[in-house]
């Protein structure tokens, strides 16, 4: 029984619309799990060593529920394209490089270091179609201590000759991936990742749907991401009323794992039914939405209607890894939507923070709050106070999301273990 006590200002979600703040509080952590959160020290814990972070603010670590690990090297380039140009001119050539395992060995440890630097400890990742690189990414994630869903992506149609697989190959290598990785770790788990409906044949999706049922595996894909994408899907799958129905019809929603849909910018009634019926998580990716797609996810409306929405960086469609910046961008974008649409209501900061911590974290278990029973996956950030003018602790967290960065993260913990991103990176490149 290893108990550690941390002292600092604590900020966590109390509800979707309200943050809870405990000034000068204590977090008692036993074997990586939060045992108590105290406003005052009690006799029970008085004799334990207290790690005092002073004015530092203890917050839950962030979850990135939609990120493309192989697009890491594309951050901030090709950003004046729209989706299809960007895919064809930048992304497909770049991702195809992961057929070379040495390239994956070079890039993937850097991706993990970047997540750790920015306080993102739970991730749901896209990869490429290449088995060996996907296997490496999975093992690096396990070694890093992070929580993750990862797998092999599928593309057998409408893809360039140099970056495509046959239907049989795609299904059989996905099955092999699941068999060889399921059960390896309680923290890193396989997920099925058809890139999006246009790059998958009906036969492929049906084959993957069978695997979802057979192995009880979840689904991660893009859904109604742009008007052009939704129209193309409808043309390719005329038997389905909308994008979402393609995944339902092919059996991809039958597994017990999480069903995670990126973007969901134009949900129809069909998507709305499916998202509720299968307890799906939709992922808002504000930077990517701005960079490569058209439209803004109706996030506040969906939250009000009880849908679970998390936040994603969607790097490289998005250009920056820090999920905290996507929190502020989500608020900004919702204000644009409110400005242009009469009956739309903007997000408040507490809602966006909740999406990035609570809604993202719950996909991985009891993660996303500083509350008893939750994993101590947490960050300590500095208050970014100016001399001579003090803002509240809650405002400090808001300011961090708008103008802070990894330099303002003072300490990082996963399962109560202190994490040094550089040390982890060194270990990854030495071991793999
Ligand atoms: N749709 C299909 N592939 C992609 C991708 O790589 N990024 C994004 N944002 N959308 C996609
Ligand atoms: Fe994406």
- Quick one: pLDDT at residue 145? 98
- Quick one: pLDDT at residue 240? 96
List 266's β-bridge partners, or say none: none
CA of 393 to the centre of ligand 2 (A): 34
37 close to 18: Cβ distance less than 8 angstroms: no
Q: Mutation test of ligand 1: which of 75, 153, 196, 292 has the most ligand atoms closer than 8 Å to its C-beta?
A: 196
Q: Which atom of ligand 1 is the closest one to the Cα of 314?
A: 9
Using pLDDT thresholds of 50, 70 and 90, give the confidence band for residue 255. very high
- Quick one: pLDDT at residue 304? 96
Distance CA 220, CA 124 (A): 8
Length of the chain: 432
pLDDT at 277 over 80: yes
- Quick one: pLDDT at residue 292? 84
Q: Mutation test of ligand 1: which of 83, 291, 315 has the most ligand atoms closer than 8 Å to its C-beta?
A: 83
Range 263-277 average pLDDT: 96
CA of 186 to the centre of ligand 1 (A): 28
Distance CA 327, CA 289 (A): 14
Range 224-239 average pLDDT: 93
87 Cβ inside 6 Å of ligand 1? yes
- Quick one: pLDDT at residue 1? 61
Mean pLDDT of all residues belonging to the chain: 97
68 Cβ inside 6 Å of ligand 1? yes
Q: Is the dihedral of CA 123, 124, 126, 132 positive or negative?
A: positive
Q: Mutation test of ligand 1: which of 317, 318, 326 has the most ligand atoms closer than 8 Å to its C-beta?
A: 317
Contact residues for 169 (Cβ-Cβ < 8 A; gap 6+): none
131 close to 152: Cβ distance less than 8 angstroms: yes
* 270-293 CB burial, b ≥16 within 10 A, e <16: bbbebbeebebbbbbbbbbbbbbb
Q: pTM, whole model, 2 decimals?
A: 0.98
CATH superfamily for domain 3-60+368-431: Urease, subunit C, domain 1 (2.30.40.10)
pLDDT at 274 over 70: yes
Distance CA 141, CA 106 (A): 14
- The domains of the chain are located at 3-60+368-431, 62-364
What count of Cα atoms within 13 Å lies in the side-chain half-sphere of residue 263? Answer: 28
For the domain covering 62-364, report its CATH number.
3.20.20.140
Using pLDDT thresholds of 50, 70 and 90, give the confidence band for residue 295. confident
Name the DSSP class of 355: I
- Quick one: pLDDT at residue 183? 98
User: Do the domains at 3-60+368-431 and 62-364 have one common CATH topology?
Assistant: no
pLDDT at 427 over 90: yes
- Among protein residues, the one with the nearest Cα to ligand 1's atom 8 is 317
CA of 194 to the centre of ligand 2 (A): 12
159 Cβ inside 6 Å of ligand 1? no
Range 187-192 average pLDDT: 98
CA of 87 to the centre of ligand 2 (A): 10
Q: Which atom of ligand 1 is the closest one to the Cα of 293?
A: 9
45-93 pLDDT, tens digit per residue, is 999 999 999 999 999 999 999 999 999 999 999 999 988 999 999 999 9
Range 412-426 average pLDDT: 98
Q: Which atom of ligand 1 is the closest one to the Cα of 285?
A: 9
CA of 90 to the centre of ligand 2 (A): 14
- Catalogue the E-assigned strands of 142-200: 147-150, 153-154, 188-190, 193-194
91 Cβ inside 6 Å of ligand 1? yes
pLDDT at 15 over 80: yes
132-188 pLDDT, tens digit per residue, is 999 999 999 999 999 999 999 999 999 999 999 999 999 999 999 999 999 999 999
């Amino acid at each position: 029984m290893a108990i550690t006590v941390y002292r600092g200002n604590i900020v966590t979600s109390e509800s979707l619309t309200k943050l809870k703040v405990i000034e000068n509080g204590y977090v008692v952590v036993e074997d990586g799990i939060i045992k108590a959160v105290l406003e005052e020290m009690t006799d029970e814990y008085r004799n334990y060593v207290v790690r005092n972070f002073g004015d530092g603010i203890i917050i839950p670590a962030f979850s990135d529920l939609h990120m493309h690990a192989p697009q890491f090297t594309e951050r901030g380039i090709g950003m004046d394209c729209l989706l299809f140009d960007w895919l064809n001119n930048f992304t497909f050539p770049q991702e195809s490089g992961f057929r070379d395992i040495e390239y994956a060995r070079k890039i993937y440890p850097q991706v993990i270091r970047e997540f750790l630097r920015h306080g993102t400890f739970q991730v749901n990742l896209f990869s490429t179609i290449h088995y060996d690189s996907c296997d490496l990414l999975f093992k690096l994630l396990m070694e890093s201590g992070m929580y993750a869903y990862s797998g092999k992506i599928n593309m057998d149609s409408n893809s360039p000759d140099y970056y495509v697989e046959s239907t049989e190959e795609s299904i059989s290598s996905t099955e092999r991936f699941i068999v060889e990785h399921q059960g390896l770790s309680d923290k890193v788990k396989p997920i099925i990742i058809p890139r999006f409906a246009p790059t998958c044949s009906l036969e492929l999706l049906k084959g993957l749907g069978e695997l979802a049922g057979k192995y009880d595996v979840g689904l991660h894909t893009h859904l109604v991401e742009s008007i052009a994408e939704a129209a193309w899907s409808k043309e390719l799958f005329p038997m389905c009323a909308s994008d979402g129905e393609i995944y339902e019809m092919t059996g991809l929603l039958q597994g017990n794992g999480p069903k995670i849909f990126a973007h969901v910018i134009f949900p129809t009634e069909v998507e709305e039914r499916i998202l509720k019926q299968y307890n799906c998580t939709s992922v808002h990716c504000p930077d990517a939405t701005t960079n490569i797609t058209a439209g803004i996810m109706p996030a506040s409306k969906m939250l009000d209607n009880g849908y679970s929405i998390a936040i994603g960086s969607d790097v490289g469609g998005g250009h920056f890894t820090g999920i905290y910046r996507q929190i502020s961008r989500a608020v900004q974008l919702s204000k644009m939507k409110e400005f242009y649409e009469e009956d739309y209501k903007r997000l408040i900061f507490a809602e966006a923070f909740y999406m990035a911590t609570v809604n993202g974290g719950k996909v991985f278990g009891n993660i996303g709050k500083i509350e008893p029973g939750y994993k101590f996956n947490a960050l300590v950030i500095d208050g970014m106070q100016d001399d001579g003018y003090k803002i509240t602790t809650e405002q400090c967290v808001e300011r961090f999301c708008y103008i802070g960065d990894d330099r303002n993260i003072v300490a990082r913990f996963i399962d109560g273990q202190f994490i040094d991103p550089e040390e982890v990176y060194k270990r990854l490149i030495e071991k793999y």
